[in-house]
């Protein structure tokens, strides 16, 4: 994997090969997590609800519908 250098303003430019592999384009959100002594960079999903729907657990299945129903109920109560 190519290296990147931190600028004096603490900015990091992702190498083109990394951007291409992750499909990152200008304006995309990036998820940065610290795991031990490492920083893990991932392309953030457009919708976290859609990302949860892809989790193999049945825990999140139908969550989007439940969330939408809760929002509708909240709107009706206002």
Fold of 1-44: Pemi-like Protein 1; Chain: D (2.10.260)
Q: Give pTM, 2 decimals.
A: 0.52
Q: Give me the residue spans of the domains in the chain.
A: 1-44, 48-77
Within 8 A by CB and 6+ apart from 69, the residues are none
Does 24 have pLDDT greater than 70?
Answer: yes
Does 7 have pLDDT greater than 90?
Answer: yes
Q: Are 22 and 42 in contact (CB under 8 A)?
A: yes
Q: Which uninterrupted H or E stretch holds 20?
A: helix 16-22
> Rg of the Cα trace of the chain?
18
Looking at residue 11, its pLDDT comes to 92
Looking at residue 56, its pLDDT comes to 72
CB-neighbour burial class of residue 65 (10 A; exposed 0-12, middle 13-18, buried 19+)? exposed
């Amino acid at each position: 994997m190519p290296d990147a250098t931190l600028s004096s303003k603490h900015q990091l430019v992702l190498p083109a090969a990394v951007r291409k592999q992750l499909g990152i384009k200008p304006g995309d959100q990036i998820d940065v997590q610290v795991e031990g002594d490492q920083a893990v960079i991932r392309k953030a999903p457009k919708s976290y609800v859609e990302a949860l729907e892809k989790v193999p657990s049945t825990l999140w299945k139908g969550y989007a519908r439940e969330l939408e129903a809760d929002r509708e109920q909240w709107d009706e109560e206002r």
